[in-house]
């Protein structure tokens, strides 16, 4: 799984003009699922997202997690995180999991994060054309890959 994690002041998702999810202070996470991802990847990534200390403490240092600040989480599926651009100018998405594999893992990570945070995770709609608005706070943006856990 690949995740682009952004600390935000606010973020929202709309599908066909209807808001499907919105948060104030918290994290916007764009999530891509690869064909060989498993439940263990979802468990590891959910734990990292919820416990990552990227919110300011009283001294302005990044020492607080989403759990500590009671922030929201907006989780958006995004297969394009697996774009391969090596050949030509049209990206290939061959490494992205097909919907029948990706959607259950996406739903699994939503449930895991909801349980860890003890709150409903806000979402988009899997496979839909979504419009995402956000105000990145910091800016703080972190990219994670469950296939490269040693570097994250």
Name the residues annotated as catalytic. Answer: 80
Write out the DSSP string of 123-146: E--TTS--EEEEEEEEEEEEEEEG
Q: How far apart are CA 31 and CA 23, in angstroms?
A: 17
Question: Helix 39-51 to helix 99-117 angle, to the nearest 10 degrees?
Answer: 40
């Amino acid at each position: 799984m690949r995740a682009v994690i952004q600390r935000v002041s606010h973020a929202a998702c709309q599908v066909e003009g209807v808001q499907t999810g919105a948060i104030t202070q918290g994290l916007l996470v764009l999530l891509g699922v690869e064909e060989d991802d498993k439940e263990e990847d979802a468990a590891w990534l959910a734990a990292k997202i919820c416990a990552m200390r990227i919110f300011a403490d009283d001294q302005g240092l990044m020492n607080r997690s989403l759990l500590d600040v009671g922030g929201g989480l907006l989780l958006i599926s995004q297969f394009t995180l697996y774009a391969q651009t090596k050949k030509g100018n049209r990206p290939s998405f061959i490494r992205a999991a097909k919907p029948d594999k990706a959607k259950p893992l996406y739903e699994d990570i939503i449930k895991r994060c909801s349980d860890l945070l003890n709150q409903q995770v806000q979402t988009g709609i899997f496979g839909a054309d979504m419009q995402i608005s956000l105000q990145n706070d910091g800016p703080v943006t972190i990219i994670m890959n469950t296939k490269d856990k040693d570097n994250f």
